Amino acid sequence: MKGQLSGVDAVVLCRTVSTEIPTPSKNENFVARYPVAAYFVLTFAVSWAGAFAVVAPHLLRGEAIPKFAGLMMFPAMLLGPSLVGIVLTRLVDGPSTVRDLFSRMRRVRFPARWYATLLLPPVLILTVLFCMTTFVSPVFAPNRFYVGVAFGFVAGFFEEIGWMGYAFPKMRRANNALAPAILLGLLWSAWHIPVIDYLGTSTPHGAYWFPFFLSFAAAMTAMRVLIAWIYSNTKSVLLCQLLHASSTGSLAVFSPPHVTAAQESLWYAVYAVALWLVVAIVATVFSKRLTLQSSERSSGG
């Protein structure tokens, strides 16, 4: 009859509808379904396990962790973001995307003004320290520990393979890169927790552990937004590695050598304020996309 479906038509319609409505695969694992969450779970697990392995002999003997052992936790932690980033890039996105990741680590052709952003960390750090030396106390005079540059390059090279090579391109959205960058900055700060007591010059921080961590996290989250801004406009993991190296290296080189834990927490907090002022300017000019409206960018890597 007119207006009614025959048995054959009904079967065809049901098959058509069933093919148009996606159903989750029962065989799809957690990594494939939640590639960003899986990255952070695995990165934290690998990094923190590596840090624990370094100091385990001292902890098992009930000894205080020597400063050198505390510092050695950091190189062990670098395997987390780098190794997990490369492995998940291949597992989640396929072998060809590993080549794309390494190509973004070689991307050097973009306007020269983006290279000038590498000066932001040392200029801001020196400005903050000179102002505090002048108006607060001479103890804030910057150091000249130039070997610290090496620490910056090691940290920047390995960490950004994962943070900006894998995680951030999957986190950012076409109309909002700012919020994902802040979230990544907070997670990045938390990732440092095992070694936070051995960062800076006034270590261990004792009763000022938490205030120092808050100041450190505020500064690092702002720096992560600036790194994300660089990536959003250049798609260069290499430039992110260099800005990270500039940030970490400048802190290692110029951190005042004779401050107390309270004073170190204070100057990190002032530095964080300076960084967030720069972030505010960037967000005002480039919007929450972190790119100019005329520059259409994709949300992926």
- 8 Å CB contact between 275 and 223: yes
Residue 247: domain span: 111-286
Residue 85 lies in a domain: no
Residue 258 resides in a domain: yes
Query: Contact 163/184 with Cβ under 8 angstroms?
Result: yes
pLDDT in tens, 26-60: 557 888 899 999 999 999 999 999 999 999 998 88
Kindly tell me the sign of the dihedral angle through the C-alpha atoms of 100, 102, 106, 112.
positive
Q: Is residue 243 part of a domain?
A: yes
In a domain, 66, yes or no: no
How many Cβ atoms are within 10 Å of 217's Cβ, its own excluded?
Answer: 20
One DSSP character per residue, 32-57 reads HH-HHHHHHHHHHHHHHHHHHHHHHH
Could you tell me if residue 202 is inside a domain? yes
Environment class of residue 83 by beta-carbon count within 10 Å: exposed (0-12), middle (13-18) or buried (19+)?
middle
Distance CA 54, CA 44 (A): 15
Summarised one tens digit per residue, pLDDT across range 170-205 is: 999 989 999 999 999 999 999 999 999 999 998 889
Residues contacting 196, CB < 8 A, separation 6+:
205, 209, 212, 213, 216
The mean-pLDDT minimum among 133-147, 182-196, 265-279, 282-296 falls in: 282-296
Q: Is residue 45 part of a domain?
A: no
Domain count along the chain: 1
- Is 122 part of a structural domain of the chain? yes
Q: Is the pLDDT of residue 19 over 60?
A: no
